[in-house]
Amino acid sequence: MPFYDYSCRKCDFVFELMHGFNEKPKPVCPKCGSKDTFKNISACSFTIHSTKAKRFVLDAVRRESDKRTELRSMGIENITPRNGVSLDQVYSEIKKSGGAVQEQMHAQREIDEAKRKIKDREWKIKALKRTPERAKIRRDMKAKEDAQKRAIRL
């Protein structure tokens, strides 16, 4: 029978209660005796007792980790297999096409870098254009303020 966590609404005490899955108990708080309690949502866990199963799971995790490491060394950083496709299928496709994938990724990086440089250059040009305009506006505003101050003094 599983353990379930319950909390008391009055005293905020958290306690465990063991009951069957299909049972609907009416738990009572052991601290204050209140029946105003609710079931907490808690994570479940499981333990693999078989060493053969444990070894199988660990080997599968290690193989996937090794594949991701090898793909990173090829320059492929983030791989998220889409619907119904496993990492093994993606890995085998990349290994088949090999250098073509690396060339595509290298070309895409160069394109992205060129776009970034163009964008930076355009931003600098716009910033330089804006500066003289802003300086002129500030000078004009300052001149108006000075003229108003002189008009008040007279």
Q: What is the pLDDT of residues 66-107, one digit of tens each?
A: 888 887 777 776 677 777 777 778 778 777 776 676 777 778
Flag whether 56 is in a domain. yes
> Looking at the 3D structure of the chain, how many domains does it have?
3
**Residue 23 within any structural domain of the chain:** yes
Tokens 């204050």 appear where?
Answer: 32
Residue 16 φ/ψ, nearest 5 degrees: -105, 150
Residues 72 and 92 in one domain: yes
Please give the pLDDT value at position 98.
66
Does residue 44 lie in a domain region? no
Q: Could you tell me if 109 and 137 lie in one domain?
A: yes
Residues 60/61/64/69 CA torsion (nearest 10 deg): -140
Domain of residue 58: give its range. Answer: 51-97
Q: Is the pLDDT of residue 138 over 70?
A: yes
In a domain, 46, yes or no: no
pLDDT band at 43 (very low <50, low <70, confident <90, very high): low
- Examine residue 141 and state whether it is found in any structural domain, yes or no: yes
Pairing of strands 3-8, 14-18: antiparallel
- Regarding whether 117 and 145 lie in a shared domain, the answer is yes
Q: Is residue 45 part of a domain?
A: no
Q: Identify whether residues 117 and 84 lie together within a single domain.
A: no
Position 55 scores a pLDDT of 84
